[in-house]
């Protein structure tokens, strides 16, 4: 969906999900976040100013509301009155700049048309930096537990129509995937990419087990054609990151399937790895078009 909409947009604009749009919009405020609690506070401020900016776009300015949000910005950022006031008014204008009202499409209520703030150079990931050890990494107790939980999730997913029965199992598998995959990357000599790659499988797992598809499948019997949906649509709507960071996903997921092979969850990762290879180039082209 996102890739299809992007292709119809003028250069310099792209389609994003609402939550991603709010996160992109709030970057000037989020720069001041230093803790989880601070993130919650920043999000509340951003959402509040976003809603007020919508009022302003309708010609409904309110000096009392402005005073409240300027005080909130001042307290959160610890800036003085002048800087806080300027930042608030920049945020109000930023909403209409990033999301011009005339560009929005009523028939696509879950998507927003966003202006690119600046062109970004997108290039295929440099696989030359991945000097991976060829010998299998040692199988740890946590690996065994992860595969057991993943296999149990597969069974529940395929045999039960009751989401509540496997919701907690899904959360366990997602959490363990980050830990075990990160440790495997370390054991394979890829310590430099752990912070970038380790969280990626969690998103794929959510796509497989918690997102509506026409078919039912698991990580083990992943339907190849759904990788297009994952890369060209789901990933671009659900994951908010810097444009160039989207390029890490093909190598990260190819490594994840190697990890699943070494831990004896799948017999042969090559078909999946080769398929990701075939769609990596058009995926990069989509990114180039989006962020040009």
Place of tokens 């390029």: 247
The pTM of the whole model exceeds 0.85: no
pLDDT at position 258, please?
97
Place of tokens 């989006």: 290
What size, in residues, is the chain?
292
Place of tokens 């990151």: 241
The residue among 62 and 8 whose pLDDT is bigger is 62
Q: Are 92 and 49 in contact (CB under 8 A)?
A: yes
- Alpha carbons 75 and 69: distance in angstroms, whole number: 10
* Percentage of the chain lying above the pLDDT 70 cut: 99
- Alpha carbons 181 and 197: distance in angstroms, whole number: 9
pLDDT at position 117, please?
85
Q: Is the confidence at residue 163, as pLDDT, over 80?
A: no
Q: Is the confidence at residue 176, as pLDDT, over 90?
A: yes
Diameter of the chain measured on Cα atoms: 66
Q: Are 280 and 247 in contact (CB under 8 A)?
A: no
What residue spans of the chain are helical by DSSP H?
Answer: 2-8, 18-25, 27-30, 36-57, 63-77, 81-98, 141-159, 163-187, 194-197, 200-209, 226-229, 235-238, 249-262, 270-291
pLDDT tens column, 180-195: 999 999 999 999 999 9
Q: Are 276 and 151 in contact (CB under 8 A)?
A: no
pLDDT band for 267, please (50, 70, 90 cuts).
Answer: very high
Mean per-residue pLDDT for 103-113?
86
pLDDT at position 292, please?
74
- Alpha carbons 191 and 131: distance in angstroms, whole number: 10
pLDDT tens column, 229-261: 999 999 988 888 888 999 999 999 999 999 999
- Alpha carbons 234 and 252: distance in angstroms, whole number: 16
pLDDT tens column, 15-61: 888 888 999 999 999 999 987 778 999 999 999 999 999 999 999 99
* Percentage of the chain lying above the pLDDT 90 cut: 74
pLDDT tens column, 30-42: 999 987 778 999 9
pLDDT at position 1, please?
66
Q: Are 159 and 166 in contact (CB under 8 A)?
A: no
pLDDT tens column, 164-175: 778 889 999 999
Q: Is the confidence at residue 178, as pLDDT, over 90?
A: yes
Q: Is the confidence at residue 120, as pLDDT, over 90?
A: no
Q: Is the confidence at residue 132, as pLDDT, over 90?
A: yes
């Amino acid at each position: 969906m996102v890739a299809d909409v992007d292709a119809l947009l003028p250069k310099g604009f792209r389609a994003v999900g609402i939550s991603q749009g709010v996160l992109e919009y709030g970057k000037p405020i989020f720069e001041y976040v230093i803790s989880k609690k601070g993130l919650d506070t920043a999000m509340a401020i951003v959402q509040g100013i976003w809603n007020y900016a919508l009022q302003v776009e309708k010609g409904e300015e309110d000096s009392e509301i402005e005073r409240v949000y300027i005080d909130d910005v001042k307290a959160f950022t610890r800036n003085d009155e002048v800087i806080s006031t300027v930042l608030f008014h920049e945020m109000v204008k930023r909403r209409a700049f990033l999301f011009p009202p005339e560009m929005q499409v009523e028939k696509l209520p879950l998507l927003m048309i966003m202006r690119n703030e600046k062109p970004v150079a997108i290039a295929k990931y440099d696989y030359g930096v991945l000097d991976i050890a060829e010998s299998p990494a040692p199988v740890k107790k946590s690996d065994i537990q992860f595969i057991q939980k993943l296999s149990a999730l597969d069974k529940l997913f395929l045999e039960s129509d009751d989401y509540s029965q496997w919701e907690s199992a899904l959360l366990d598998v997602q959490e363990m995937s980050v830990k075990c995959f990160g440790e495997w990357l370390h054991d394979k000599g890829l310590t430099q990419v752990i912070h970038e790659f380790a969280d990626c499988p969690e998103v794929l797992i959510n796509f497989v087990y918690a997102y509506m598809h026409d078919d039912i499948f698991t990580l083990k019997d992943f339907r190849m054609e759904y990788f297009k949906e994952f890369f060209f649509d789901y990933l671009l709507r659900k994951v908010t990151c810097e444009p160039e960071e989207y390029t890490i996903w093909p190598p990260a997921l190819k490594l994840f399937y190697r990890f699943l092979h070494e831990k004896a969850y799948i017999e042969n990762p090559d078909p999946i790895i080769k398929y990701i290879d075939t769609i990596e180039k058009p995926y990069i082209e989509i990114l180039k078009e989006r962020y040009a």
